[in-house]
A and B are shown apart, each in its own frame.
Chain A
Amino acid sequence: MAEFSTPTTAQEFAENFAQLKPLMNRTEALYESSRCLFCFDAPCIQACPSGIDIPQFIRQINSGNVTGSARTIYEANYFGNACGKVCPTEVLCEGACVYNLQDVKPIEIGRLQSYATTAAIKENKKLFGPGPANGRRVAVIGAGPAGISAACELRSLGYEVTVFEAKAQPSGLTVYGVAPYKITNEEALAEMAYLQGQFGYEVRYHAPITGRANLAALEAEYDAIFLGIGLGKTSALGLPGEDKINCVGAVEFIEELRMRQAEMQVGRTVIVLGGGNTAMDAASEAARLGAETVLLAYRRGKEEMGAYEFEYSLAKGVGVKGLFNVAPLEIVGDDYVAGVRFIRTAVVDGRVQEVPGTEFVQPCDMVIKATGQAKQTHFLHHIPGLELDNRGRIVADAMGQTTNPQYFTSGDARNGGAEVVNAAAEAKVAARGIYAYLSQ
């Protein structure tokens, strides 16, 4: 018997994917904010990639200035609400809370952050607006955390901003790629609507920028272009049988899950390939969709997985089983996936080596590949003079300016794949970089 039965209604889906960080009520926010010590030069601020003045916003909640609290958060991070829910706070702000050193539960900073920002969003509190128009125009490619954050900051600096988004909705991976138990679609989109209402940038949906002709038009029409394009599809493994039905990429699987929710189908026995945070998400999600068995297959030992410990614990907690020191050789089956042929591995001098004669087939009816996302190098080659590093990441200076001076970037396309908070923080810097560049 699986931990979860397959959800068939929106209600059942919401129960299986119950929020890990549910919204606090006023009493809980009062109690939790009361615990904050108001550390000097607080370690939580230092641990936050966007440097939110956390003791300040918590103190503001405690004194009943919830709107001021939201302002403190948004001044540092335009994805303040989403970050409160999706940030790996265990290894960031909450991991740095001094209470940890006293074996006392750290302050629930993420939930307090969501509490304050949710109140501002719900009441549509006017906190920000565009700066005086300066007559310049900036195009933003991608309406994800990087693109939207850049758009907000650019508007506050007086630029006219148009965001080009290939998909139908904003917020990028926040709505298309994050596990549903971390944030709901409604929450992610409410923050996007709030920000657009505050700053007044234009977003064009279903407007993919795909080739040289599109780019040339933008280069002519806009003074600067911000690349917030993130990463591409799940990388191919190059294994035989990878094209079988029910062998899917994790990114694609999660996107479909986020869009279809209770209508999403999952196999009865699912093998997830990979050891990163996305693998943990996909495995956990498969279990919550009612898969009877979910196996997490990783080619090294458990302790070498790239995933955060709490993410692995979360997957284990919903019944996911680990299968370590195995490498996939082939996806077996006819048209449909029927199993994965693995070979056992050993790590010798830090390198993974296959152990001859240890092949076996692990039966399953679905394979989710969580083995990394491809870079969008093909598209990026259409930008003249744009340099990429040897891992396909866009090369940019401290202010986000690329080797083509008209182009700036931040987020996954530049850092190779990090958290929402990193993209949001770096985009603010890049917007300042555009300001410096266009003010020359």
Chain B
Amino acid sequence: MPDLSINFAGIKSPNPFWLASAPPTNSGYQVMKAFDAGWGGAVWKTLGVPVINVSSRYGGVNYRDKRLVGFNNIELISDRPLADNLREITEVKKRFPDHAVIASLMVQSRQEWHDIVRQSQDAGADGFELNFGCPHGMCERGMGSAVGQEPKILQMIVEWVMEVAQKPVIVKLTPNISDITEPALAARRGGADAISLINTIQSIVGVDLDQFSPYPIVDGQGTNGGYCGPAVKPIALNMVKNCAQHPEVRLPISGIGGIENWRDAVEHILLGASSVQVCTAAMHFGFGIIREMVSGLEQYMVEKNFQTIYDFVGKALPNVRHWEDLNMKYQVKAHIHEEKCIGCQLCYTACEDGAHQAIRLQAGTRTPAIIEENCVGCNLCSLVCPVDECITMERRDDGSQHLTWKERTDAGNIPTEFNDEKAGGRHHWVPEPAAALGKERHKTLPGKARALGVG
């Protein structure tokens, strides 16, 4: 079997799956339960001066029948006394010495940082995660994302921590910033051992249409929260990639954001993460999801013949390029496998209304046909098709040519004027505007009124 264990900036863990600092790591009871279930590590709910929370703390985004595709919270850091948390950290470490227990920290003054780091390492924490990401409540008090958004302050606090830390220090970054590599570089300059990202995204998760208040509602009112869950994975992946690719960041990355199964974890790892953290999925389904994650990761590694996690950390990074480096000679076109088509015609209407009018209907069948010369290879039809492998994108160039935008630019072969002959869409067929008005079936009149021609 492949070896799932990791050594993350000096923090050892039997597998790369850690619980993120959040409600699931609020107590020793929860963390022990998680380790017993199979989690490799846990980042403790952020320690600091205990807070007081409001009632009604979470909000969800549901998509059709799927619950919590997005999730947000307005809960603050730990509301439990520090001594209780530290005593439980000690107890967990005693029972699970090989698992990773990381103390998430958030305080204000240099003295407080020194005190809490010392006390945490005395309690047995394997490392620290500095919470510079919380985008609600704490930031109003000059902590959390307020720090993460100010690289100089971030660096200064990291330096304070490094003065006393004898265990690895991870800096947790906020995504509420235009360039994630700036705080990442500040963390490096401050001497941090690793970074973790992303923290939650500042959000309003929804508005109650009757109470005219954002969710979650606290006595008829609400506030912005922090957004997470499956919906944020694409944003997290991009930011992980940005940090992993930056030549000067060069720090281990703990990937966070939208991870709920092995596949999400592998994606984070392929883009440079060497541990992953999970919160929303555990809050939704409980700690038991770890079995599927471990099993899926193992199976993937067996099939790919990877011996350790490090065999594929960042393996997709060379293929993440700037747009200007992509091969413009590469050409795919949609192909409808007629024997699989069920005739929903979503591809037709999607291409008609949302793309390039490259699909037509055919008399006598509900199976649409691709208009080859109009198809730009955008993928849209294959994305909306509800049947697996019914619409595939087929390569049409022979692979012998390679030309990028950058190369075209260097060769002076790009459009530069408004009506340039070299415009990419110049020879694409587009219907006359007024032809749209004859498309009766695009609107459905109620009932037989349609057949009668009366509205």
Contact = CB atoms under 8 A, between A and B. Distances in A.
A117 interface: no
A101 B444 contact: no
B65 A40 contact: no
Interface stretch (A71-79, A186-194, A238-246): A71-79
A428 B447 contact: yes
B143 to A, nearest CB: 39
Interface string B59-81: 00000111000000000000000
Contacts of A98: 342-344, 366
Contacts of A75: 446-447, 449
A432 B344 CA distance: 33
A39 B346 contact: yes
A39 B345 contact: yes
Contacts of A429: 448, 452
Given A43-B366, A51-B450, A75-B446, A102 B342 contact: yes
A394 B342 CA distance: 40
A101 B386 CA distance: 12
Interface in A410-440: 425, 428-429, 432
Task: Classify the secondary structure of A's interface with B.
Answer: helix
Interface stretch (A1-9, A30-38, A174-182, A353-361): A30-38
A271 to B, nearest CB: 41
A53 B387 CA distance: 23
A407 B386 CA distance: 50
Given A75-B446, A76-B447, A432 B345 contact: no
Interface in A71-89: 72, 75-77
Nearest to A41: B441
A45 B345 CA distance: 14
A246 B33 CA distance: 72
A401 interface: no
Interface string B380-406: 000000110000000000000000000
A428 B448 contact: yes
Nearest to B341: A101
Q: Which of A30, A41, A76 lies at the interface centre, i.e. has the most chain B CB atoms within 10 A of its CB? A: A41
B245 interface: no
A34 B454 contact: no
A72 B444 CA distance: 11
Nearest to B353: A40
Task: Classify the secondary structure of B's interface with A.
Answer: loop
Nearest to A52: B447
Contact of A101 (B342, B346, B448, B450): B342
Size bracket of the B interface = 20 to 34
Nearest to B347: A40
Contacts of B65: 30-31, 34
Nearest to B384: A37
A40 B345 contact: yes
A50 interface: yes
A345 interface: no
Contacts of A53: 444-447
Interface in A90-130: 98-99, 101-102
A50 B447 contact: yes
A273 B80 CA distance: 79
B374 interface: no
Nearest to B451: A51
A99 B387 CA distance: 10
Nearest to A102: B342
A151 B449 CA distance: 17
Interface in A2-54: 30-31, 33-34, 37-41, 43, 45, 50-53
Nearest to A37: B344
Contacts of B343: 39, 43, 98, 101
A40 B447 contact: no
A38 B448 contact: no
A41 B361 CA distance: 11
Contacts of B445: 53
B348 interface: yes
A62 interface: yes
B357 interface: no
B5 interface: no
B223 interface: no
A425 B447 CA distance: 8
B349 interface: yes
A30 B348 CA distance: 27
Interface in B339-363: 342-346, 348-349
B446 A37 contact: no
A37 B348 CA distance: 13
Contact of A77 (B64, B66, B447, B450): B447
A76 B446 contact: yes
Contacts of B451: 51
B367 to A, nearest CB: 10
A437 to B, nearest CB: 15
Contacts of B64: 30, 33-34, 62
A56 interface: yes
Nearest to B62: A30
Contacts of B450: 51
A51 B342 contact: no
A51 B344 contact: no
A45 B64 CA distance: 22
A431 to B, nearest CB: 11
Given A31-B65, A34-B65, A432-B454, A40 B348 contact: yes
A23 B366 CA distance: 33
A72 B345 contact: no
Nearest to A78: B447
A173 to B, nearest CB: 21
A102 B452 contact: no
Nearest to A53: B444
A133 B454 CA distance: 20
Contacts of B66: 34
Contacts of A77: 447
B428 to A, nearest CB: 23
A62 B64 CA distance: 7
Contact of A39 (B344, B446, B448, B452): B344
Contacts of A39: 343-346
Contacts of B346: 37-40
Contacts of A30: 64-65
A76 B66 CA distance: 31
Given A40-B345, A43-B366, A75-B449, 12 more contacts: A30-B65, A37-B346, A38-B346, A40-B348, A40-B441, A51-B447, A51-B450, A53-B446, A75-B447, A76-B448, A425-B447, A429-B448
6 contacts: A34-B64, A34-B65, A39-B343, A50-B447, A76-B449, A102-B342
- 6 smallest beta-carbon distances between A and B, as pairs: A76-B447, A40-B345, A34-B65, A34-B64, A75-B446, A101-B342
